[in-house]
Amino acid sequence: MELLFLGTGAADWPHPGPKVGDNRRNCSLLLNQQILLDCNAMTLDALNEFQVDCSRISHIVIGHSHSDHFDFDSICTLASQPRSTALTLHLEAGSAQKFPIPDGLSGNLQLQPFTTGEEFTVGAWQFQPDAANHPMADPQEQAVHFLLQDPDGKTLLYLLDGGWPPEKTCLRWQHTYLNVIIWELTVGIETAFHIFSHCNAQMLAILETAFRQRGMIDANTLQLCSHLARRFCPPQPELQRQLQPYPFRPAYDGMKISC
């Protein structure tokens, strides 16, 4: 699978404009040049800066509707650009009802709601959405993490965003070996009250150990961190130094990986 990190920042990053420099945009990840995981108001600039061929993007999958992960206007803009096939937007059922497709875009954008706990396909990928520990203002909406399987059978666990995952959710993953895991490290190595809805490095170290003991990950698992808050995470070189004792590395905007 090929990953391109279009944004690795939590919600507290200001919009950097067309060039991200040493900053971070809100989280978004491009899979195999075709599937966008999260699309926010900063994502179009990232696609442009990192020279992505947007006509190849066929699916957008959203884990929850907070504005640092989801911007419907940006998605409509993307859909309205020239494309050979319609863009499919996958939204959790509780959120989907709030975003009817505008009439003028019905040929370019289609909505495909998914249900928490029920697998669905995205092109040749398999997605399993499971409940995250991340409060939503509307009780109808459920934030989810995604366990993905690519067309070659490789797996990726995308944990944005939310704090310590619910036990029921972890039990759903326990028999799956993970090739790649993208942790949520909003709080960095700090200990702030944000840990009750987000993770810090110490929490991830415990989760990582529990996953390792179950055989879900090993030394070959690629472990990266995203959703890094500006107020808790220092610039990339210092963050890398802070995370040296841990088995996970911080991602950065524009990071591209084939694995």
Query: Given the complex with Zn ion, which of 231 and 241 has the nearer CB atom?
Result: 231
d(CA 78, CA 52): 12
State the nearest-atom distance from the C-beta of 229 to Zn ion, in Å: 9
Stretch that binds Zn ion, among 41-49, 64-72, 193-201, 208-216 (CB under 5 A): 64-72
Query: Given the complex with Zn ion, which of 143 and 217 has the nearer CB atom?
Result: 143
State the nearest-atom distance from the C-beta of 157 to Zn ion, in Å: 17
d(CA 147, CA 63): 11
Q: By the 8 A CB rule, do 225 and 204 touch?
A: yes
Q: Strand 155-158 and strand 109-114: pairing?
A: unpaired
Using CB under 5 A, which of 24, 25, 59, 66 touches Zn ion? 66
Neighbours of 61 (CB within 10 A): 27
Query: Given the complex with Zn ion, which of 38 and 208 has the nearer CB atom?
Result: 38
State the nearest-atom distance from the C-beta of 51 to Zn ion, in Å: 26
State the nearest-atom distance from the C-beta of 81 to Zn ion, in Å: 26
Which residues from 67-86 bind Zn ion, rule CB under 5 A? Answer: 68
State the nearest-atom distance from the C-beta of 27 to Zn ion, in Å: 6
User: Which residues on neighbouring strands pair with residue 65, listed in sequence order?
Assistant: none
Which residues from 183-242 bind Zn ion, rule CB under 5 A? Answer: none
Query: Given the complex with Zn ion, which of 104 and 135 has the nearer CB atom?
Result: 135
Which residues from 105-164 bind Zn ion, rule CB under 5 A? Answer: 161
State the nearest-atom distance from the C-beta of 194 to Zn ion, in Å: 11
Burial of 212 (0-12, 13-18, 19+ CB in 10 A): middle
User: Which residues on neighbouring strands pair with residue 91, listed in sequence order?
Assistant: 113
Sheet of 144-149, strands arranged across = 120-122, 125-131, 144-149, 155-158, 180-184, 222-226, 249-250
Q: Contact residues for Zn ion (CB under 5 A)?
A: 66, 68, 161
